[in-house]
Amino acid sequence: MAQGAASSSSGAGFLVNVMPLILIFFVFYFFIIRPQSKRQKAHEAKIGAVQKNDNVVTAGGLMGKVTKVADDHVEVEIATGVRVKAVKNTLADVQSRNAKPAND
């Protein structure tokens, strides 16, 4: 009879020991993993929708206007007559040509 009581209390003890780990997992998921994946999807959508005449910023800090778009790279004019090719995945930000400046 004593063995039956011991096994039921050990099952409850296991649940009490595992509960903090489950709680930590949910906190990490809802506060770290989920928001990061949303930001990444939004960034990928913005990069995928880049068009000619959009202003872009590369991960290296170069700013310019898109002059040509291909499947995996874009041509960016960083100064008058100076054009460079950049891989789409290295674009940090895309500002649409229809975007209104922040100062106005």
CATH of the domain at 60: 2.30.30
Confidence of residue 16 (pLDDT cuts 50, 70, 90): confident
| 19-29 as b/e: b if 16+ CB within 10 A | eeeeeeeeeee
Mean pLDDT of 14-39: 92
Q: Is residue 103 domain-resident?
A: no
Whether 68 contacts 102, CB under 8 Å: no
pLDDT, one tens digit per residue, over 86-100 is: 999 999 999 877 766
38 & 4 share domain: yes
Which three-class secondary structure state does DSSP give residue 55? Answer: strand
Residue range of the domain that includes 15: 1-48
Confidence of residue 9 (pLDDT cuts 50, 70, 90): low
Residues 84, 88, 89, 91, Cα dihedral to 10°: 60
Q: How many domains does the chain have?
A: 2
Please give the residue that has the higher pLDDT: either 104 or 30: 30
pLDDT for the residue numbered 43: 93
55 & 44 share domain: no
